[in-house]
Chain A
Amino acid sequence: MTNAPAAKAATEIAAWMNALGVDVHALAARMSLLWADRPRPLSITPGDIGKLEGLAREFLETHGFVVGAGVIFATEAIRSSEGGLEWWIKREHTVEKLEFDLTPGGERFYDYQNMPFFASASRTGEQTAWGPYVDYLGFDEYILTHSAPIQLDGKFAGVAGCDIRIRKLEEIFMPVLRAIPGDAALLNGSGRVVVGNSGAYLVGERIRTIPGDKELIPIDVPHLGFSLLTGR
């Protein structure tokens, strides 16, 4: 029988993630309005970038725990060869645009089309979460990225997404995890620890086999694949 505090924790984590998912989907929907009444593929104008920045800033302001937000366009959805990635991050007191090297073979090329938070959403057409990961050449920190597809008449046009520092997720989930007796950990879809409630399961480690006295409780959030590892 599942232990009651763990079931409660799983429900609370799911509610938190689902609420964030709703907001990320709403961001994607508002970004998709750029294409309304415009020829496709879209030629992105400075005005469009301004609108995207406004949306990203608003998202960052209304979600204190989020550190980055933005959009990645599918190459088919836009005309320009550049500007496939527009992302804004919080600095100490300001929000600034993150500059990426998007030239293949470039000195600091950021291969965003192959980053799982884009590639997976592109393949499945569903929301996705990727992390913990060291975002080398991007934000250069240890983060998790949650993204949702931008759909135009049912066709994939890119993703809208947000970044959360792993240290922030630890603060957010630790209280609910600490309420579970014994060692427990929130795992991502690949079985990697996101937050553990003790030293037994450390963030970043992959859990390949479930110990005999443990079980996995799914976190009820569509398509993200998170689960809670906890004592039976």
Chain B
Amino acid sequence: MPRLQLVLSFHAWSLFLAPTTAFQAHVYRSLPETERSEAIVNRISKAISLGLLKVGERLPSETALSEMFGVAPSTLREALSDLRDQGIVATRRGRSGGTFIVKQPFTSADVMKKWFRETSIAEIRDVGDEHAAIAAATVRLACERAEPHEVGRLLELARGLVMSDKPEARARADSRFHIELAVLAQSPRLTNAEIRLQAEIVQALWAPLPVARDPERVAAEHLALARAIADDSAEDAQRLVLEHIRHDVHHLVDTKLSLGYPADEQEQP
């Protein structure tokens, strides 16, 4: 199963840079078991929010997992027990038993604030750039390849945003619409790319923080985009999706700045 291999083979990167100084060797020293367990929890949580592992899916056996992660079975069991406590996985016994993913990890407002603090404007712009590149190609292909009845579903998903009242539900409706564009483009790779990008930004876009995003306006933009696709107007669709993503980036930057730029951390020349 290639999706899992993507997530689980995490020794590979260490091969490409050998430490050159004693300090660097210290950085790359082997991890204590507790940090390894945490790393496994983070890796699996991240994989779920990225859509690489999905709710309902069964994880490989404990033996296979500890082998792939290169950790002791006790470390792996600690990680799984942590994930169980968070309600992210559940273990069932019996013939069709095993450890299953049962829930998407929930992101709290504090975690979102931390994300805004730690993510620079340059990085926000860069995610926006990548999203713009993916989305521009996606909507052009969707115009060419979508069938009329599929566009009906897209219009319905565009309206979904105003039906939702909670931030999580809005985030879900928002990302679902964008992912559907890639589904209409008939491309598993663009769909995966969109899932990954949505996982990175959609919670930040709808985070319950001081600068509120107007769901009506976003829904209007989604609807206009869906209509352009229904009309096969690739040029309009591309222009609309690029404007839409620019608004997203503005909103993220505004939210970041509204949380205050930490002046006391300014370094002296």
Residues of A whose CB lies within 8 Å of any CB of B are 91-92, 96-101, 105, 107-108, 111, 114, 116, 132-134, 136, 140-142, 190, 192, 203-206
- In contact, B186 and A132 (Cβ under 8 angstroms): yes
> Chain B interface (Cβ within 8 Å of chain A)?
1, 54-58, 96, 100, 104, 144-145, 147, 149, 153, 169, 172, 179-180, 182-183, 186-188, 191
Task: Establish whether residues B144 and A92, one from each chain, have CB atoms under 8 Å apart when the complex forms.
Answer: no
Decide yes or no: A99 and B55 within 8 Å by CB, A133-B186, A134-B191 being known contacts.
yes
A206 CB contact (under 8 Å) in B100, B145, B149: B145
* Inter-chain contact B147/A99, CB cutoff 8 Å: no
Given contacts A107-B104, A205-B144, contact A136 B191 (CB under 8 A): yes
Decide if A142 touches B1 in the complex (CB within 8 Å).
no
B144 near A140 with CB under 8 A, answer no
Contacts of A96 in B (CB 8 A): 58, 96
Contact partners of B145 in chain A: CB under 8 A: 192, 204-206
Q: Which residues of A contact B55 (CB under 8 A)?
A: 99, 101, 107-108
CB contacts (< 8 Å) of B96 on chain A: these are 96-97
Collect the chain A residues with CB atoms within 8 Å of residue B54's CB.
108, 140
B259 to chain A, nearest CB (A): 27
B191 A116 Cβ-Cβ under 8 A: no
User: Which of A116, A132, A136 is within 8 Å of B179, CB to CB?
Assistant: A136
Question: How distant is the Cα of A105 from the Cα of B104 in the complex, in angstroms?
Answer: 15
CA A98 – CA B54 in complex, angstroms? Answer: 11
CB distance from B64 to the nearest CB of A (A): 12
State whether A134 and B188 are in contact (beta carbons under 8 Å apart), knowing that A92-B1, A190-B147 are contacts in the complex.
yes
By a CB distance below 8 angstroms, the chain A residues around B183 are 133-134, 136
Closest Cβ of chain B to A152, distance in Å, is: 27
Which 7 pairs, one residue from A and one from B, show the smallest C-beta to C-beta distance? A99-B56, A204-B186, A134-B183, A136-B183, A142-B188, A190-B147, A134-B191
